[in-house]
Structure 1
Amino acid sequence: MLIDAHHHLWDLSAVHYPWLMAQGEPRFFGDPAPIQRDYLMDEFRQGAEELGFAGSVHIQVGAEDGWQEAKWVQALADDAPDWPLAQVVFCDLTRTDLEQNLDLFQSLTTVRGVRQIVGRAPGEDAVTGTNDLLDDPRFLRGLQIAGDRGLSFDLQLIPELMEKTARVLSRAPQTKVALCHAGSPHDRSPSGLADWAERLKLLSELENITCKLSGLGMFEHNWTTEDFRPIVETCLEQFDPERCMFGSNFPVDSLYSDYATLVNAHRTLVPEAVHPQVFGDTARSFYGL
């Protein structure tokens, strides 16, 4: 079974997403205007099923109320029993009532993990201050508590944060971590990619971290398959196929290509012998699908 390990869905009338409602505000990944509309299961499944996918993982996407979003995704899953759907929810791991909050989320059968973004892009991070999580002992404790409960953590960050993040994650070895977007290599120059690859080793050496081949178009909008080659090959080399999984990052990456073009680019770059792991087995094992 092929699994898309990283995508989003939203209904703007059911859940409030501040960033989707903000008109005329460019983001680090470009102009969001074309995706500032409902993106629902039927549209996602149409593209995914045409490429042979039969299950997926929904990743939280900046809802004002993470619990409201999680309940909405659970309802989608309940309404589509023929489509295995897991979800990763937003949870502030520094909150004082963390245990109670996780109890609430784990009452939903689709919940497999949590995400709290550590870094998106240098410019936005300077404004949001989200990088400060790495210096907060409550964040580390939250990671440990999540792992003790069998919840994974989806990690989004930029290469400049990898060294500090590796030190934090080394103290939560029981927590399974999914590295989103291959660690967001935003500098695609030869020297930038070399620096990213060197920093990535600090994470790939931690056995509890799995890498997502996802979101690679966010920092290179007019991409070709060959543009992704050094990133995909480095991830496969450092993590091995058993710790790599494909995710479309749709509809965000629909700003740059259609679903088929994106999937086929990754199929070209990933050796055919390891397609079963990268396009299905790793995600199924990691997220319990």
Structure 2
Amino acid sequence: MQVVDPHIHLLNYTGLRYSWLHHESHSFVGSSLALAHDYLLADFLRDAGDIEVLAIVNVEANHDPDDTVAETRWLQAVADDPASGGKPDGIVARVDLSRPDADAQFALHAQCRNLRGIRQILNVHADPLYDYVGRHYLREATWRAHYGLLAKYGLSFDLQLYPEQVPDAVALIRAHPDIPVVLDHAGMFVDRDRVAGWRAWREGLRQLAACEHVSVKISGLAMFDHRWTVESFRPYVLETIDAFGAGRCMFASNFPVDRLFAGYAELWHAYAAIVAGASPHEHAALFRDNARRFYRL
């Protein structure tokens, strides 16, 4: 099986500083110590098994907020090594849009030629187990103003949030139709024990899908379903494709986070089983072409 994987996280644990890994924290994924080690390109390629990975996009791994460019420069150095085959082919870096010097931060990251986009995690939740950032960036005037810098630098935005935050996001996204957006992890449906939670997720997907410049990654499902099966994944995969259409969805692995709960080949073969009825064109779009187009690979 040939894939383009648009969501992985290489980790230079011994050379960089990820505060969430160097100091134990707990979330719905478990203890952060399970990921407190190097995860380099060679490790990723070894995990790939019988999956032929044609290209990868590395998404920022919450590196030191005072020096996020160090992670981007390291990733570019990996890609520039002839032994890497140019991987990671695309880099999604971290910029804190609430900083007064956000424009200068963009300029530093933009010096790395494989830069394709920016992610700043936005997840806010009343339950501390699910809360990432503890503040509503989407409602802050400075953050919203600096969002427009993405267009200046020709970058996309990786949108990671919970369903309840979608209305704030949609208002911003509609105000900037020139900034491509991709929703991470199928909208991160965490409130699974409530009918209202299911409804909020489904409606949130469709509100975002109504914005034509928004795509979605079907990824991270094992983070919320540690004993998953193909059948337990199926409704989330099909609901997401139904909302966005096969032309704006892309499968991704979220390795090494989902590696805690799934093998790499096991995950991709599960996706393939769920969409076994897709046409050859739809299959190519979901597994390769949409990711290539979105991230300009």
Report the TM range for the smaller structure's normalisation. Answer: over 0.9
2:281 is the counterpart of 1:281: no
Aligned positions, number: 287
The two structures, once aligned, show a CA RMSD in angstroms of: 1.8
1:243 aligns with 2:248: yes
SS for the counterpart of 1:123 is: coil
Aligned to 1:175: 179
- TM-score, normalised with respect to structure 1: 0.93
List aligned pairs for 1:11-26, cutoff 5 A.
Answer: 11-23=12-24, 25-26=25-26
Matched, 1:220 2:225: yes
Q: Is the 8 A contact 1:48 1:54 kept in 2?
A: no
8 Å CA contact retained: 2:92, 2:117: yes
Residue aligned with 1:217, SS: helix
CA separation of 1:10 and 1:31: change in aligned 2, threshold 3 A? same
1:265-289 CA-partner distances (Å, limit 9, x unpaired): 1111124421200111011011110
2:296 is aligned with 1:259: no
- In structure 2, give the amino acid aligned to 1:115: R
Letter in 1 for 2:183: L
CA distance in 2, matches of 1:121, 1:30: 17
Q: Secondary structure at the match of 2:26?
A: coil
How far does the alpha carbon of each residue in 1:159-203 deviate from its partner, in whole angstroms, 9 at most, with x for none? Answer: 111122111211111111110001101123472333311222111
SS in structure 1 of the partner of residue 226 of structure 2 = coil
SS at match of 2:30: coil
Secondary structure of residue in 1 paired with 2:154: coil
Distance 1:159 1:202 in 2: 10
- Consecutive unaligned residues in structure 1, runs of 5 or more: none
Identity of matched residues, %: 35
- Taking the aligned partners of 2:106 and 2:4, their CA distance within structure 1 comes to 25
In structure 1, the residue matched to 2:147 is 143
> For residues 271 and 173 of structure 2, what CA distance do their matches in structure 1 show?
28
Task: Confirm or deny: 8 A CA contact 1:144 1:174 kept in the other structure.
Answer: no
User: So what's the TM-score if we normalise by structure 2?
Assistant: 0.91
CA contact (8 A) 1:77 1:83 kept: yes
* Aligned residue in 1 for 2:71: 69
Q: Deviations over 1:69-98 (max 9, x none)?
A: 011101111111354520100001122222
Per-residue CA deviations over 1:7-60 (Å, capped at 9, x if unaligned) read 10112121101111123x322322233321111100101233621211100000
1:98 to 80, 96, 102: 102
Q: Say if 2:121 and 2:133, in contact at 8 Å, map to a contact too.
A: no
143-152 or 47-56: bigger deviation:
47-56
In the alignment, which residue of structure 2 is the partner of 1:107?
A: 111
> Which secondary structure state, in structure 2, belongs to the residue aligned with residue 114 of structure 1?
strand
The C-alpha deviation readout for 1:134-172, integer Å capped at 9, x for no partner, is: 111222222222023210000100111112211121111
Q: Is the 8 A contact 1:67 1:105 kept in 2?
A: yes
Kept in 2, the 8 Å contact 1:209–1:243? The answer is yes
Query: Which residue does 2:4 correspond to in 1?
Result: 3
Q: Which whole-Å deviations, capped at 9, do the CAs of 1:205-236 have from their partners, x for residues lacking one?
A: 01111100010111111111111111111111
Match of 2:221, SS state, is coil
Corresponding letter in the other structure for 1:260: A
Structure 2: tracts of 5 or more residues without a match: none
Q: State the match for 2:34 in structure 1.
A: 34
Alpha-carbon distance in structure 2 between the residues aligned to 1:136 and 1:169? 15
1:233 corresponds in structure 2 to 238
